[in-house]
Structure 1
Amino acid sequence: MNIGIIGTGAIAAIVTTALAKLETIHVRGVYSRTIEKAEQFAEKYNLPFYTNSLDDLCQQSEIDVIYVATPHSFHKEHVLIALIHDKHVLCEKPFTINEKDAQELFDFAIEKKLFLGEAFWTRFNPVFQSLKDIQDQQLIGEFKSVIANIGGYGLNNDRLIDKNLAGGALLDIGVYNLNLMFEIFGHEFTEMTTVWNQGATGVDYQHTLCFAFANQATATLHATIQAQTMNGALISGSEGYLTIDHVSECNQIDIYTHQHEKIQTVTKHPEMIGYEYEFLQLAACLKQGKTTFDEVPPSFTQQLLHVTDCIRQDWQLNYSGEA
């Protein structure tokens, strides 16, 4: 499977490095707004094609999939261009900035009979996927609460704080906390309370989200781009608890009894960065003729964006181009 990448930022570099270790998946081309950045990226990662034309990248016959790795506010435009050129598409999270845009893209992909998926890398991680087994096996009893924290100082990163680029903590890192909550409690909460710090650029520099569920479970989710913090999560059950070392990376889960005795540790394959899993699954989907992921179905993407839309409505926060 051959990949063409739209974007030359940090995530594009990380993914290209990860894919270089795989024998069956190859990055063959890259696009950047400036030909200089595209050339530099191609030279650094030994790619055969680079361009500052989206059409040129999408018209490369050897490229099977376009991977969109640009700032959030460009996702819809870039996914649409790739689909118009009859390319399968994998788009970084957040898939789009709102639920409406996501629905339009999925509808168009169905019409074109092309694969379209969200690159929510955490959901493909075997450590993260083990949460369902832990829950089903009642290793810590019934899950009753999750406390999740993610973030770091990012106010010196223009992309993170730019309202025109849909910056802020919510869509960049807060979605990882929501993903964890969705995995163990689902999305049908009965109550939501939000607190946020609106920064000088108008986006959320920090927020805390609290949710209640019908089974008396609760979720407290904190994300920040204005402070250094400890990343991780605590899930408490009726008979024990577990810790996750990092909400997005999910390198390790430690499981404890109610007497604080560790009974099990789940760890990630040491040679995997983590992004490899989603691309290997993408290749499997294309081979099987699938047009969506089982791990990140369109319903998940749309439900997640529905919640972030509701949160932003609570904050009266609109991004550029929204009503």
Structure 2
Amino acid sequence: MTLPHDDVNFGRMNGKGQGTINVAILGAGRIAQSMAKTLQLMAQDDRYSSLVAPYAVASRSMDRAQSLADQYGFARAYGSYDELLADPLVDLVYIATPHSLHMEQAIACMRAGKNVLVEKSFTANAEQAQKILDVADDTGLLCTEAIWTRYMPSRLIIDQIVSSGVLGDVTTISADLSYTTSYKARLTDPALAGGALLDVGVYTLNFIDMIMGAQEIDRMVTSMLPYETGVDASNSTTLYYPDGTMAVATSSMMCQSDRDGRILGTKGYAIVHNINNPEAIDVFGDDHDLQRHLHMPDQLTGYEYEVEAAARAILAGNKECLEMTHADTLRMMSLMDQMRASWHMQFPFEK
């Protein structure tokens, strides 16, 4: 389905620095479908309808691109990425492909004048991340990592709990995120930067980082259980901080877990239910008495927050989002590089 230009919200700023951002999706897999649904719902919601528009889908398969565009009301479908890059009406490209492709695709988008929202993990390693960010600096375009928990309202709620002092001094943090997903070929393929770490472990590390901030890590102890292809099937990492805080991150693609995050302090503790998409937070006192049960705000899908942040950053002329700065992305990628180095785990394209 292709609409004439007159039927498309062009996504250009008006004199007041306002406008509608035309969003395109590069890729047509599962997470692309989630984003397509999100953009469709945002276009129907008064809070977002004047901010973003579902504009285009590009895939190496025209049939897949057209099917996704038709299902979710996108104006255009492209059977190649080059066609998407050539479209002057694309303002923001959401990159929804395997980690190993992000660098090449993000750079190509920015060189074509498109802002980018790059799905986590941002790249396969910190070197690739730096190359993308160098191009962002060179072009002056927005480039941000789409790790949705950084943008969700739950982040501010957790910050408020910690800063309120109700937990006392935070001394221990733990986070686990595991799903039985080893049947997915991209997760077991080293050439696609597979493994639990870059797929789900990245959430556990970001959960800890959002609480600790940009603190240096004194010491790290980490290990992993390899899958038969050599990528990490399960992993566990303990981080020690200069202020005495200890944080433990575990993730796996071989089992199901409670997905909980725990923040333990001298006066009490908080349990965040599902760090991948927080559903509720329980705050306990020092006698294990439940003091507060906090439900998270209703959401469309949860992806709308990162899209909104990216669109507003573009309209403001910013190169990064405050929710996930370039420094945040580089710090997370460097940490995961250090973990993989400890495991003696390299991807084929890194050797």
Q: Structures share a fold, TM > 0.5?
A: yes
Match of 1:30 in 2: 57
Offset of 1:262 from its aligned partner? 2.0
Q: Please, which moves more after superposition, 197-206 or 122-131?
A: 122-131
SS at match of 1:20: helix
In 1: Cα distance, 2:27 partner to 2:166 partner: 43
Matched, 1:252 2:277: no
Q: How does 1:102-141 map to 2 (within 5 A)?
A: 102-141=129-168
Matched, 1:54 2:81: yes
Residues 250-281 of structure 1, C-alpha deviations (whole Å, 9 max, x = no match): 12211111112222233222243211011111
Residues 235-259 of structure 1, C-alpha deviations (whole Å, 9 max, x = no match): 1011000000011211221111111
Offset of 1:192 from its aligned partner? 0.8
Match of 1:302 in 2: 330
- Kindly provide the amino acid, as one letter, of the partner of residue 19 in structure 1: L
Residues 78-114 of structure 1, C-alpha deviations (whole Å, 9 max, x = no match): 1011011011111001111111111111111111111
Offset of 1:46 from its aligned partner? 2.5
In 2: Cα distance, 1:59 partner to 1:246 partner: 40
Residues 113-163 of structure 1, C-alpha deviations (whole Å, 9 max, x = no match): 111111111011111222222222111111111121111111111111111
Of 190, 194, 197, which residue of structure 2 is paired with 1:163?
Answer: 190
Residues 285-305 of structure 1, C-alpha deviations (whole Å, 9 max, x = no match): 122111111110000000001
Structure 2 stretches lacking a partner, 5+ long: 1-20, 43-48
Percent identity of the aligned residues? 29
Q: Would you say the 8 A contact 2:41–2:300 is kept in 1?
A: no
Matched, 1:180 2:180: no
Match of 1:68 in 2: 95
Q: How does 1:278-317 map to 2 (within 5 A)?
A: 278-317=306-345
Q: How does 1:11-30 map to 2 (within 5 A)?
A: 11-22=31-42, 23-24=49-50, 25-30=52-57
In 2: Cα distance, 1:157 partner to 1:301 partner: 25
Offset of 1:194 from its aligned partner? 1.0
Matched, 1:78 2:105: yes
In 2: Cα distance, 1:228 partner to 1:263 partner: 28
Match of 2:226 in 1: 198
Q: Would you say the 8 A contact 2:32–2:96 is kept in 1?
A: yes
- Kindly provide the amino acid, as one letter, of the partner of residue 226 in structure 1: M
Of 290, 295, 302, which residue of structure 2 is paired with 1:267?
Answer: 295
TM-score, normalised via structure 1 length: 0.97
Residues 6-27 of structure 1, C-alpha deviations (whole Å, 9 max, x = no match): 0111111111112212213222
Structure 1 stretches lacking a partner, 5+ long: none
Offset of 1:68 from its aligned partner? 0.4
Aligned residues between the structures: 323
- Kindly provide the amino acid, as one letter, of the partner of residue 196 in structure 2: A
Offset of 1:220 from its aligned partner? 1.2
In 2: Cα distance, 1:201 partner to 1:255 partner: 41
In 2: Cα distance, 1:32 partner to 1:81 partner: 15
In 2: Cα distance, 1:133 partner to 1:111 partner: 37
In 1: Cα distance, 2:296 partner to 2:304 partner: 12
In 1: Cα distance, 2:301 partner to 2:72 partner: 17
Q: Would you say the 8 A contact 1:51–1:57 is kept in 2?
A: yes
TM-score, normalised via structure 2 length: 0.89
Residues 43-63 of structure 1, C-alpha deviations (whole Å, 9 max, x = no match): 222222111221211222221
Matched, 1:229 2:257: yes
Match of 1:210 in 2: 238
Q: Would you say the 8 A contact 1:239–1:257 is kept in 2?
A: yes
Task: Tell me how large the CA RMSD over aligned residues is.
Answer: 1.2
Q: Would you say the 8 A contact 1:90–1:118 is kept in 2?
A: yes
Moved over 3 A (4+): none
In 1: Cα distance, 2:93 partner to 2:68 partner: 16
